[in-house]
Structures are given as structure tokens and as C-alpha cells.
Amino acid sequence: MLGYVVDQALALEPSRVLVVVGHESDQVEAYLQVLKVETGAGERIGSVVQTERLGTGHAVLTCSAELEALGTEADAGPIVVLSGDMPLFRVETLRSLVDAWYEQAAAGAGAVILTSEPDDARGFGRVMRAGEAVQGVVEEKDASPEQRLVREVNVGVYAFSRATLLEGLPRLSSNNAQGEYYLTDMVGLLVGDGRPVSAQKVADFNEVIGVNTLKHLSEARTELQWRILEGHLAAGVRIEDPATTYIDHGVEIGHGTRILPCTVIRAGVSIGEECEVGPFTHLRVGTRLDDHAEVGNFTEVKKSTVGSHTKAKHLSYLGDVTIGAGANIGAGTIVANYDGTHKHPTQIGDRAFIGSGSILIAPCTIGEGALTGAGAVLRRGTEVGPDESWVGVPARKLEPKRDSND
């Protein structure tokens, strides 16, 4: 979830991204190190520890030193505040917020906020207006029954000038139902100072899904999944049944590939063009399918490469294996990569034929054009040479029959 929000921030091309961390901050900090590498943003991404969690206003207040250090050159653009539990904002929505700030800052506006009118206000602060003018935001726990009937809500995304933010944060009060410093109170302070606050409405309610419960998390996950699927469909991937197909963020799929129903593809998977995956296939991190590869019914692949025109169509587990081009993996094949302590690699050469029910105990090597008989069990360390045939339990090389006259 944090990765999505950091991506939102980076899409605005900021000079600095600050992540306020608190609960279990060591885990969040560790993930931020991963994000620095994955996004290429490096030291542009920083963090500030909020040792006491005293509300959204207090969270931003902990960034004061960092904001001051940006210097006056930062006053040319806005400080954008995002919520860490809202992964669904589209970049276009956030850019419209920034554009509105530039348009209105010259006219003396205090800030621009994002609002929406969702069917379920569930915990959002209500936007109070006098006619069309925004007057303030009242958090749900502090709102009167009449105020809770207001449909327009504040969604927790703001654009301030640096000077305005630094000036207003120390003026926030914790005199409210939760005893916290609300960033939403900045709206009322600015309006009281004669600096109007404008609101940009978000039309797509799904963008403002915030995650406070497991139910909310599932709603956000569902919306993100549809976006991912739509992206692949637009790129020419044939997904037969999107309702039963689960594809994580960060999956690469080539044009013309066909994804059959009840397929799960996890992050870190790369699939070439004109492949076939499914039904009931599970592709895990580190899997690569070369062009025209086929992986089918109840086959699980983990950290493996499946070569071009290779087929693994039925009831197989392929773990830590590199398979060449044009090979056939028979039904029920198991590449047993784990010895109880460590995982080991296996190599299967081009055009190899792995018979149904074969078990390959890693590490082992199958040469080009080699064959294993149905039900063969290849012991750890086995090396099958090119074009050799191995059969039995444990498997042994099948020697060609000699003519009686030899």
C-alpha cells in the first residue's frame, strides 16, 4: 500500500518525498529502502519518525525541520500532503490538484483540498460551506447529527504553500473529541485569516477508498486488481475471465498471450508474447516464460524459466528450474527443489521430454533431447546426458539393446 502512495508522490516529480513513520517504523523503513532502489528515487525519498501519534496535523508538524530546510526555492511550488492509507488515487487527479494550486496561489488562496461525495462517508470529515465557499472541515467524531448529513467529504489530500503550512501548523489545537491535532483544522484557520480554500471534487468514488479495516483493504485490492487487468487487456493480453484472474502489480505480459480462468500471477513474473497460461495455474516470483511457452492446468512455477515453445500443461510443480526451448514436461512432474534446509537448481535442456509422473530431485541436470520415463525418480546430483533415456526408481540410464551378432 505504501508503494502505491509513494508512486503517486513521485509521479508529481517532486524535489523531495517525506514519509511519516510511527508504529513498527523499522518495518516501514526497511521497505522504504527497497522502494528507493525500485523507483530509482534514491535519496529523494526520506522519512520522519512521529514518536507520538497525535493526529494528522501532528504528523505533518514533525516534518517542519525538513520543510524549512528545503529553502525559499521550494516556495515556487506546493507542498502536497497525501494519506498513507489511500492507494487508489490516479496521477491525473493529483496533477489537477497541483494545477489548481498554481492557478489560485497567485490570487492569495490559502490551500486547495480534494473532496468527494461517496455513497458511504465512513469516517471522513465533512466539508462545511457557506454557499459555494469552503468554510472548514469537521471530523466525523466531532460533527453534529446535522453536519453528518453533509455528503461532501474531505479525503485527506492537500496542496499548501510551504510558508502557509509552516505558519499554520503551530496554531493547531487538540481541543476535540479525539484529543488530536487535525490537519483538517488548517482549512478553518486559513479561511479565518481571509485566505480562501478551494476544493477539487474527485468524481470517481473508488479513488477515495481509505483503508481502516480488512473490509476496506479488500475493497481497495479489488479496485486495484481491475485496474491492473484493464492495463493488460489494453496492451493486447487476452484474459478470458477477468473475474477469476488475479495478477499482481509489477507483472510483465507480452502481446497476444492468453490467460485462462482461475489463474494467479504474483509480482515479479515476466511472460513473453503468444504464451498460454492456465486454467488453474499459479506463477510465483522469479518466473519467466519465454515467447510461445505454455503452462497449464494446476501447474505451479516458482523462480524458474520456461523456454520458448516449451509445454508444462498438467499437474506439475516447477521450482528453481531452467528449462530450455521446445521441451515437454509431462503431467505430474515434480522438480523437488527443497531438501528441508536449502533450495537447489535444476537444468533441463532444449527438446527434453520429461515423462509423466517424473520426480527430479535437485540439483540435477537433464541434457538436450534427453528423456525420462513415466514415473522415473532422478536422485540428487543426477546428470542425464544429451539424448539419453533414463527410467525406473531410482532412475538409471537405459542402454540401447545390442544385436545378438555384435
CA distance 240 to 262: 10
Is-catalytic flag, 309? no
Q: Are the beta carbons of 269 and 284 closer than 8 angstroms?
A: yes
Among the listed residues 282, 309, 314, 342, the single catalytic one is: 314
Query: What sections of 127-263 are H helices per DSSP?
Result: 145-148, 162-168, 185-192, 214-234
Nearest to 76 by CA among 12, 187, 163: 163
Do 377 and 394 contact (CB within 8 A), yes or no? yes
All three cell numbers of 349, joined, read 535442456
Give the DSSP per-residue string, 156-193.
EEEEEEHHHHHHHGGG----STT----TTHHHHHHHHT
- H or E segment to which residue 276 belongs: strand 276-277
Q: Measuring CA to CA, how many Å separate 45 from each of 40, 57, 65, 88, 178?
A: 10, 21, 15, 20, 31
Residue given cell 479561511 in the structure block: 191
Strand partners, 321: 346
How far apart CA 237 and CA 289 sit, in angstroms, is: 14
Give dist(CA 176, CA 165) in Å, integer: 21
Amino acid in the structure at residue 82 = L
Collect all residues with Cβ–Cβ distance below 8 Å to 354 and sequence separation of at least 6. Answer: 327, 328, 329, 330, 333, 348, 360, 366, 371, 372
Backbone angles phi, psi at 78, to 5 degrees: -85, 160
Q: How many residues does the chain have?
A: 406
Start-to-end CA distance of the chain, whole Å, equals 72
User: Around Cβ 398, how many Cβ atoms within 10 Å?
Assistant: 15
Whether the CB-CB separation of 195 and 105 falls below 8 Å is answered with no
Active site residues: 314
